[in-house]
């Protein structure tokens, strides 16, 4: 039952190349396979930038004291892309940065898999750090992605970032 | 396609495509449905009606709403053919 | 003349494998070839960590309004390694992090080359960001590395981080 | 190996290995030298003497000092065989 009613939010409609093209143009996209961090990083190469800050959110093997086996992320792709574009645009206005890119992965992830990647380049270091953190926080607050944790006894639950 | 009880044949109706994600999809037991509602129906009224139908556990105050793939205000008007999604607290990252 | 009196500070005495072994054990080392970011990142993999923050300081093509052709970094290797160990130890005490690694490159670098790499893993995201920034700031303040910028007209000057 | 003028033959002397980096290497026109100084010579006195010899442009107040590959205090004592480095403002990153 779960797979039926969530099938539309576990995979994306776009091709992988489309996803990276959207990420390069708009700064954000959803992807349903492993994130190619080197590809995103290369997209940000800029001779005028002395600073590159990046963050990877990975699936960890515990949540508080509970052991986690795997995690499934579900996303509302079209809203995520529209909202992601707005977040990256706002980051470029708030901080002295040259460029920023983020991708959130959806689907079934294993321990250690990268769920979200954020990279920022700027001339100087503090705006890169500040923008990277702000983009991550704003993605976690506003991008329509949900997650369900699965435990050793095969039970699961919906998680929430804000209570 | 389901039709809500409040839409009577004599009123002008609009068809709204509602998508469900996360716990709302579990509770509605579907990914999407098209509902016919009177033309003046607000987003708040729409959620109230669907909440009764599917016995959603989240009150509207805990949700955001998106119309045509953009976040919207609960006071925004909706129109025939619009796509509406109620957004439970997100949990990315 | 310049090369004679600076020769000892443009190359390292240790082998590349020794450098990465020291970085893995103590958290900091100097290197005189391109930094292998993927190798450092793999060293930090940890199933208990949901957060990986990293920073790359790259040679940019300008300093204020002046066009920069290349940059040479000079380092005092043995002091750098001792001081780097102290910095990483202190970072682990100050912040809720699991591990941190940094490498500073010395020698002649081209535009776009990575001069310094800092990576941090932790259970949660804010300590990773905070520690990464603190380690970078402290490296810039305390690690005995100096740099000379070379300009289009072949002139050069010593730079200083603190005036 | 150079010997500083202040070290007279009747005093006990210590040999200190001094390494130079960055602008001090330019001004000293060497990477390192071994100097013989009276046994009670302080780091401050050592810098003063070498500064006169090489006409260093940086006053001691702008420098840090390292002994045997660790940062030291200017008031730390040095001993025969020690390695000393005067550290001009660093510029990594």
Whether the pLDDT of residue C83 is over 90: the answer is yes
What's the pLDDT at D10?
66
Under the banding of pLDDT at 50, 70 and 90, the label for residue A161 is confident
CATH topology of domain D2-87: Ubiquitin-like (UB roll) (3.10.20)
pLDDT digits (tens, 9 = 90+) for C29-77: 999 999 999 999 999 999 999 999 999 999 988 887 778 888 899 999 9
Half-sphere exposure of D31 (CA within 13 A, CB side): 13
What values do phi and psi take at B48, rounded to 5? Answer: -60, -45
What's the pLDDT at D6?
58
- A130 in Cβ contact with A136 (< 8 Å): no
Residue C80 CA: distances (Å) to CA of C32, C75, D84: 13, 7, 14
**Facing D23 at nearest CB: one of C7, C144, C158:** C158
For C9, the token pair is 């500070």
What's the pLDDT at A1?
42
Asked if D92's CB is within 8 angstroms of C104's CB, the reply is: yes
Under the banding of pLDDT at 50, 70 and 90, the label for residue C1 is very low
Under the banding of pLDDT at 50, 70 and 90, the label for residue B10 is low
Give contacts of B85 with chain A, Cβ < 8 Å.
76, 79, 144
**Averaged in consecutive runs of 10 residues, what is the pLDDT profile of chain D (93 residues)?**
55 94 96 96 98 97 98 98 97 91
Distance in angstroms (rounded) separating the CA atoms of residues C149 and C152: 10
What's the pLDDT at C151?
82
Whether the pLDDT of residue B41 is over 90: the answer is yes
Distance in angstroms (rounded) separating the CA atoms of residues A161 and B18: 24
What's the pLDDT at A163?
43
Q: Give, in degrees to the nearest 5, the angle at Cα D74 between C75 and C91.
A: 55
Contacts of A135 (CB under 8 A, 6+ apart): A87, A88, A91, A100, A102, A118, A120
Look up tokens 């607050």; give the residue: A141
B89 → chain A, closest CA residue: A160
Whether the pLDDT of residue A162 is over 80: the answer is no
Give contacts of D71 with chain C, Cβ < 8 Å.
79, 83, 142
What's the pLDDT at C139?
98
pLDDT digits (tens, 9 = 90+) for C142-151: 999 999 988 8
Contacts of C110 (CB under 8 A, 6+ apart): C59, C70
**Facing C79 at nearest CB: one of D22, D31, D66:** D66
What's the pLDDT at D5?
55
What's the pLDDT at C25?
98
Distance in angstroms (rounded) separating the CA atoms of residues D26 and D56: 10
**Facing C49 at nearest CB: one of A45, A47, A60:** A60
For chain D, give every domain's residue range: 2-87
Asked if C5's CB is within 8 angstroms of D93's CB, the reply is: no
- A81 in Cβ contact with A30 (< 8 Å): yes
Under the banding of pLDDT at 50, 70 and 90, the label for residue A88 is very high
Whether the pLDDT of residue B81 is over 70: the answer is yes
What's the pLDDT at A44?
97
A137 → chain B, closest CA residue: B93
Burial of B17 (0-12, 13-18, 19+ CB in 10 A): middle
Under the banding of pLDDT at 50, 70 and 90, the label for residue C162 is low
Under the banding of pLDDT at 50, 70 and 90, the label for residue A70 is confident
pLDDT digits (tens, 9 = 90+) for A111-158: 999 999 999 999 999 999 999 999 999 999 999 999 998 888 878 888
Under the banding of pLDDT at 50, 70 and 90, the label for residue C152 is confident
Give contacts of C49 with chain A, Cβ < 8 Å.
58, 60
List the one residue out of C121, C138, C20, C13 whose CA is nearest residue C77: C13
Interface of B with A in 25-84 (CB under 8 A): 25-26, 28-32, 66, 69-71
pLDDT digits (tens, 9 = 90+) for A12-41: 999 999 999 999 999 999 999 999 999 999
């Amino acid at each position: 039952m779960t797979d039926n009613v969530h099938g539309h939010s576990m995979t994306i409609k776009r091709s992988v190349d489309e996803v990276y093209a959207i990420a390069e143009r708009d700064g954000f996209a959803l992807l349903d396979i492993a994130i190619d961090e080197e590809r995103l990083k290369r997209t940000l190469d800029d001779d005028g930038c002395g600073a590159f800050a990046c963050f990877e959110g990975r699936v960890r093997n515990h949540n508080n004291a509970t052991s986690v086996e795997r995690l499934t992320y579900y996303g509302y792709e079209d809203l995520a892309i529209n909202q992601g574009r707005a977040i990256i645009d706002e980051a470029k206005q708030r901080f002295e940065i040259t460029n920023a890119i983020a991708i959130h992965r959806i689907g079934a992830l294993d321990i250690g898999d990268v769920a979200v990647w954020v990279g920022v380049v700027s001339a100087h270091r503090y705006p890169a750090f500040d923008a990277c953190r702000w983009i991550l926080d704003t993605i976690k607050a506003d991008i329509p992605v949900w997650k369900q944790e699965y435990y050793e006894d095969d039970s699961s639950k919906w998680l929430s970032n804000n209570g | 396609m389901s039709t809500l009880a409040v839409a009577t044949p004599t009123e002008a109706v609009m068809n709204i495509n509602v998508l469900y994600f996360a716990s709302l999809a579990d509770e509605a037991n579907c990914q999407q449905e098209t509902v016919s509602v009177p033309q003046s129906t607000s987003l708040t009224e729409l959620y109230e009606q669907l909440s009764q139908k599917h016995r959603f556990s989240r009150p509207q105050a805990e949700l955001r709403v998106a119309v045509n793939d953009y976040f919207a205000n609960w006071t925004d008007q909706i129109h025939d053919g619009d796509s509406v999604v109620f957004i439970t607290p997100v949990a990315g990252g």
